[in-house]
Structure 1
Amino acid sequence: MISLVSLPSDYPDHPSTNQKLSPPSKSSFKVPGKGIHTLMGKSAKQVSTMLGKPERVDPTKFGYRWFIYGRESENYLQVGIDVKTDRVTTIYALGKQLKLNPFVIGEASQKIYEKVPIEGDLSFNYNGTKINFELNEEDMMIRPLMKFGKDWAQLNFDHVSDRLIGVRYMTTDVLAAQHPYSMTYQGQLPKTANLNDKEWIAVNQAEDQEIFDISNVMRLRFNQPILKWNEQAHQAAYQHSKEMQTRNYFSHDSKWSGDLKARLDRRKIYFQTAGENIAARYSDAAAVSLGWLNSIDHRKNLLNDAFTELGVGSYKNYYTQDFVTPLNP
């Protein structure tokens, strides 16, 4: 069996909610004195002293490098260290064992909305540029944004369970650079990095590993077995992402390289079952993984207990996951 599903350009439609929320005002909300967020602004040396040596250090296209901790566990954490200042400018906290005061991974969205100020329109100034984000209904359900002291917190929700899946913290600089929502602005946005081919390869290889790690943490969260890395599936996924980007199309089926079965056959991957997720134009591995989790068909692949191995292939801002269960030798 081959499961072929495609990712729409935006988040999928979700049931509307008519919750009557009474969140606290901005002025009444106080950032807690303890929690993972207190790493913001710390030096790389301080982070290593507090958390230990990272399991991996990954480059990004946003001017920071990720320190990766807690792979294949509910302590999974990515700490973003600015390459110029050597200080923490962003955090991606996914593991439910992490202390995220006032948030709790797995907490119902209703409870969170009652204790923190969440708004659909947010404005701020960045180096003289006025930026206004307009969050739509899907944004508010899946990834609402809030001011968190002098920084920002993006809450990542699983819309199926309606519970918190993770939290992203970021400085205004990082938020302006990624601008992950529909927006209007007056002035100039931060310039995007102009990566050379070698730098893109390094960033994409890092994103492959991050998507793999995040996928396994999500499987742990929903009591599914961890997947093994499949190098040949990775190569098939990478070639598909590259072809979609260079030939400017978005589909599981290609008039040049065929469907998923043809691509896996070409890599001599003989399987009992296989499936594929694709995506494009997301900011990074964490963002695309959240998108897949919140798309019903992609979620089925991501959390399918029939799959045993996974290969991930990224090319610039195109992403492919190829799930397989190989035939027994």
Structure 2
Amino acid sequence: MRLFKRLILFLVIGLTIAVYKNPSLIIPKSQSIIMTISSTKLTDWYNNNLQVMPENNSRLKNAEANIRSKMRYLLGSLDNHILKGNPSRSLEEIEKEKNVILLEIAIGDSVEKVISTLGQPNRKDESQYGFQWYIYNGDYSKYLQVGIQEDKVVGIYTNSPQLQTEGETQIGADRVTVEKLLGKPLEYLKKDNTMYYLSSPEEYYTYLIYNYYATIFFDIHNNNKVIAIQLIEKNTEEALKGFYGKPTEELKESFEKQVFDLANATRVHFNLPQFQWDQQAMMAARKQSKDMAKRNFFDHKNPNGEGPSDRLEKEGISWRTSGENIAAGQTSAIFAHQNWMNSIGHRENILGSFERLGVGVYFGGNYNTYYTQKFYSPY
């Protein structure tokens, strides 16, 4: 048996070396596609002052270099993997998984366990993946989203420091701790023969841990501390072709509500009063997002010269102070919110003294998804 295992080892090593020297053996150039979010945009407006953030251009990496790196890793681990019985899960994977389990809920758990542990959700939202988010927003200090598909947990998100993991990768941990525990993050997700490169590595790390992808979000304006954690089941993530979900009215409304919830959960974390939802501000925000997509501009002032205050006043709003955040290209409400929080001007609006907030989302245009937040305090 030992001789047979060594023979298999030599054969695999030989094949691996061949692939190492010629990566096209496993990924034919005619079938491999490289995709990335080329850019996302953000700007904010506070009492007639504009700040424009530069586009976040992600860089395409050399696919062949990545393949060679994977081959080097494979060569180094083959002996342990084959000669020691080829366990389905390594101790390293198990230890990593312990660091990102939230509460007593884990990917793969039943919806019955979710309900018995957390109770009925306050709301059910659509997701870009096609599953439903169970939204727990009754207490913003314990804000939680649990993704359910076919009665199983396929997604989890929280930005609450009160919902701790079993390990050390928790809300409030620093980047160095995450790197020590989980290692080097992924540079891309591979779905079939397409590699989807991950942008903004300074804002979040993504890891493949056993049967799910874990995205760890950092607050770059607060010592690079972990500010949120998202887990998406592996097959669910890889079934989403491209970056964006199917543009439906239900998904649009879900994004709008989540942007509002995420802002309030963040404010509670910083000991600030919650925003009050404002329907008129929502209408102004929706019109701004749609206008940017339809007329192909990204600015607080539209081609007619109308600005944020004009949009509020058109909806009959009398305001004492006002602000506006806009974003485009982010794949979900979660990523839009995290991007805003890592931009000083947008962050100041979210954490500012405004009393009311309306959110509007529109699908279409050059950036696929447009987000607008309309803040104000009334007279």
**Same topology, TM > 0.5:** yes
Aligned residue for 1:28, secondary structure, equals helix
Within the candidate set 283, 288, 310, 1:262 is matched to: 310
Unaligned runs of 5+ in 2: 1-46, 59-76, 78-89, 364-368
Partners of 1:4 and 1:275 within 8 A in 2: no
State the match for 2:22 in structure 1: none
Corresponding residue for 1:163? 225
Which structure features the higher share of helix residues?
Answer: 2
In 1, are the aligned partners of 2:186 and 2:207 still within 8 Å (CA)? Answer: no
C-alpha offsets along residues 66-125 of structure 1, whole Å, 9 cap, x if unaligned? 10013452210111112xx2322111121111122322111122222222222353565x
For 2:305 and 2:129, the matched residues in 1 are separated by 32
CA separation of 1:260/1:211 partners in 2, compared to 1, >3 Å: closer, same or farther? same
Q: 1:96 aligns with which of 146, 154, 161?
A: 161
Paired with 1:261 and 1:285, the residues of 2 have a C-alpha distance of 24
Cα deviation 1:215-274 (Å, max 9, x = unaligned) = 011112223221111111111001111111122221111124710111111112111111
**Measured at CA, do residues 6 and 238 of structure 1 come closer, stay the same or move farther in structure 2, by a change above 3 Å?**
farther
Residue of structure 2 in register with 1:181 after alignment: none
CA shift, 1:310, in A, is 0.7
Mapped contact 2:361–2:370 kept (Cα < 8 A): yes
In the TM superposition, what is the alpha-carbon distance from 1:11 to its structure 2 partner?
7.7
Unaligned runs of 5+ in 1: 13-24, 179-188
The separation in 2 between residues aligned to 1:6 and 1:171, in whole angstroms, is 35
Change (3 A) 1:248 1:173: farther
| Alignment length (residue pairs) | 293
* TM value normalised by structure 1: 0.81
CA contact (8 A) 2:244 2:331 kept: no
Quote the offset at 1:10 in angstroms: 2.3
Residue identity over aligned pairs, in percent, reads: 29
Quote the Cα distance in structure 1 between the aligned partners of 2:50 and 2:243: 36
Matched, 1:87 2:135: no
TM-score normalised by length of structure 2? 0.71
The amino acid of 2:236's aligned partner reads: V
Letter of the structure 2 residue corresponding to residue 320 of structure 1: T
Alignment match, 2:174: 108
* Partners of 1:6 and 1:320 in 2: CA distance: 14
Q: In the aligned structure 1, how far is the partner of 2:243 from the partner of 2:175?
A: 35
- Residue type at the aligned position of 1:50: T
Q: 1:298 aligns with which of 325, 329, 346?
A: 346
2:203 aligned to which of 130, 134, 142 = 142
Match of 1:74 among 141, 146, 157: 141
Residues 38 and 149 (structure 1), Cα distance of their counterparts in 2 relative to 1, 3 Å cut: farther
Indicate the residue corresponding to 2:358 in structure 1.
311
With over 3 angstroms needed to count, the CA separation of the structure-2 counterparts of 1:86 and 1:277, relative to structure 1, is same
Indicate yes or no: 2:366 matched with 1:322: no
CA distance in 1, matches of 2:49, 2:260: 19
Does the residue aligned with 2:324 lie in a helix, a strand or coil? strand
Q: Take 1:191 and 1:271, find their aligned partners in 2: how far apart are those partners?
A: 37
Instruction: Indicate whether 1:221 and 2:285 are aligned.
Output: no
Matched, 1:63 2:130: yes
- Give the AA of the match of 1:28: E
What is the SS of the residue equivalent to 1:144?
strand
**Cα gap change, 1:6/1:267 in structure 2, threshold over 3 Å: closer, same or farther?**
farther
Separation in 2, partners of 1:275, 1:289: 16
Higher relative contact order (CA 8 A, sep 6+): 1
Residue 51 (str. 1) matches residue 113 (str. 2):
no
